[in-house]
Amino acid sequence: MPLKEEIWNKISAFFSSEHQVEAQNCIAYLCHPPETASPEEIKSKFECLRMLAFPAYADNIQYSRGGADQYCILSENSQEILSIVFNTEGYTVEGGGKSVTYTRVTESEQASSASGSKDAVNYELIWSEWVKEAPAKEAANREEAVQRMRDCLKNNKTELRLKILGLTTIPAYIPEQITTLILDNNELKSLPENLQGNIKTLYANSNQLTSIPATLPDTIQEMELSINRITELPERLPSALQSLDLFHNKISCLPENLPEELRYLSVYDNSIRTLPAHLPSGITHLNVQSNSLTALPETLPPGLKTLEAGENALTSLPASLPPELQVLDVSKNQITVLPETLPPTITTLDVSRNALTNLPENFPAALQIMQASRNNLVRLPESLPHFRGEGPQPTRIIVEYNPFSERTIQNMQRLMSSVDYQGPRVLFAMGDFSIVRVTRPLHQAVQGWLTNLEEEDVNQWRAFETEVNAAAFSMFLDRLSDTQNTRHPDFKEQVSAWLMRLAEDSALRETAFIIAMGATISCEDRVTLAYHQMQEATLVHDAERGAFDSHLAELIMAGREIFRLEQIESLAREKVKRLFFIDEVEVFLGFQNQLRESLSLTTMTQDMRFYNVSGITESDLDEAEIRIKIAENRDFHKWFALWGPWHKVLERIAPEEWREMMAKRAECIETDEYQSRVNAELEALGIAGDPDAERMAGMRIMEEINQTLFTEIMENILLKKEVR
């Protein structure tokens, strides 16, 4: 599998649907950086990924680690899956179990010419003609391409990168030692019929190709032609081809005789209606997602390990699936029933968004996660509580947004919450799935709360309807009016006052609109939880914008509330791990709701709908209150010193002290103190020279430096302001 796809499969959940294309482009760049890539350019891609990711995953994307030019991406379970490390000569890319070191090519080196080489005479004639034929706007970039080919000749390089040059054609003759040809992000409409060379890897993604020559070199083993306009494939493809990626083209059918050496085939997002009856027997990964398939071949390759066939029109699966299958994704189809016996090797099964009414009684022995959300399930197999997967963790069965009755959920909760239960962890969502709701214009939803709006105010909210996620916020407001909290008169006053603030504060409004995304996908308790998140964000926003600059005691109380909410979230996550058949929303909201008074949580509401199925006991609440107060007495001082909103306050109320502290921090990093502490720690542990250990030690030392400096300035300023 290409490295970029391997990495993307592990982190795609970090990004919302609207950011996935941009994030994929960043990953593709980082997996194959250009020869002239600088640490600054690499850092910008990591910064972009971090900005696009959900906040919960931002720390999984790290750059300038330990104060050096080191960059990495961590998986959901904090395993390093991609790293780039720069040194004076070049950089090393590590991922997918492989490590590739590149020597950096500077701009001046790229511009140097090898036109005098005795071996380049014939090439020079061909290339000079190619440059002469260039349209005016393309001539300079063709010259650049020729310079790169000359450089390959001169230095016997095996990789030729002609990315992002706006090329409409390429010369048929390229240096014969080239084994990797990268043509991504050009304007190629075709590839040469007589392309020469010993190419093993060909990348021509994001062009305007409409077809593939039948005469491509048989030496090609890996070919990526994604995001083009290819409508059909030739009957003959390179005989050595092992990996073929044709994502996002316009292909309607595949040739009957694909190369027998093929191991990886992706035709994701095309228009294919049927697959060949006999696919190459050696294929281990087949991706046919987002096509128009109504059926899969009855006989699939026997060694197939990954089958991705989501977003088609499948109504059933073959009776017999490959015996070594590990990943099966048939989500977003029309499947009504699954085979009663699935291959025991399956670890990941996604059958979400189908028309299933039942799940099979027999789960694959190796199953680790099953996604069956948004079907028509009303019951789960009786065998499920007794299933013991072979994996190190309990199997996760996700059945959110199915029409289970509340009684069924309560019965499942009682069964699965017993102390000695060792079966799968089952996740579901509460809610009424029969109601189809219409999204009203935003100004109408606001008028449901602010009944006496002037015409000028109505027009103001009408103008906000063009803002991103305005529709989601409108639906959120309508659903909020159906929650249990509307029974309290002061709740409507609170929401009304908050809406008037949103009308005058575009930044706060943008934050609220973002949180509203997904807030209405299930029960009303998810709506209430989203409202809590909005009120918490409002409190942080006020602190950052200066509302407490003259009232530091109130700022500290606001900080305490945020600290307590973070502690509640941590405890709720612990509880969720011990519960089964429980909607996580009920656990998170349950702790917030029940600890509202004892912890003085001003941003929390009084009521929720489904607390009785949250699985939270009185002893849970007593223990949580004690643990939070102990943590606050022990850790709040250090936490507040590092709290971002407090730093913004410091910059405003004590600018000189802030600048002095930041200068001292920079001095610690830039002098020998930082590196000396890192080296001393590694030597004490006997692991000097270990890059991973050095990275971790560097992060730890940096945290200690930050804690010391930020605590010192906090104590000095609060003492000066006479605030305890």
The DSSP letter of residue 686 is T
- If we measure between CA atoms, which residue out of 511, 437, 433, 539 comes closest to residue 481? 437
- If we measure between CA atoms, which residue out of 567, 548, 568 comes closest to residue 558? 548
Phi and psi at residue 61, in whole multiples of 5°? -115, 110
- If we measure between CA atoms, which residue out of 539, 503, 561, 553 comes closest to residue 718? 553
Q: Which residue has the tokens 């199953």?
A: 367
CA distances from 559 to 496, 642, 710 (A): 25, 11, 15
The active-site residue, picked from 26, 31, 152, 523, is 523
Task: Report the alpha-carbon angle 663-45-47, nearest 5.
Answer: 40
Neighbouring CB atoms inside 10 A of 550's CB total 10
Sequence-distant contacts of 622-627: CB under 8 A, at least 24 apart: 624/568, 624/571, 624/591, 624/595, 625/595, 625/598, 625/599, 627/567, 627/571
DSSP states of 258-284? --TT--EEE--SS------SS--TT--
CA distance 535 to 602: 9
DSSP states of 490-530? HHHHHHHHHHHHHHH-HHHHHHHHHHHTTTTSS-HHHHHHH
Which is it for the CA torsion 54, 56, 58, 60, positive or negative?
A: negative
Tokens coding 595: 């600890």
Note if 48 is an active site residue: no
Q: By CB neighbour count within 10 A (0-12 exposed, 13-18 middle, 19+ buried), where does 486 fall?
A: middle
The DSSP letter of residue 378 is -
CA distance 161 to 104: 13
Angle between helices 524-545 and 470-480 (to 10 degrees): 120
Single-letter residue type at 189: K
Which is it for the CA torsion 662, 668, 674, 680, positive or negative?
A: negative
Per DSSP (E only), the strands in 64-200 are: 70-74, 80-86, 90-95, 98-103, 159-161, 180-182
CA distance 603 to 595: 12
Q: Which residue has the tokens 């409108």?
A: 474
The DSSP letter of residue 144 is H
The answer to whether residues 53 and 37 touch, using CB atoms and an 8 Å cutoff, is no
By annotation, the residues acting in catalysis are: 523
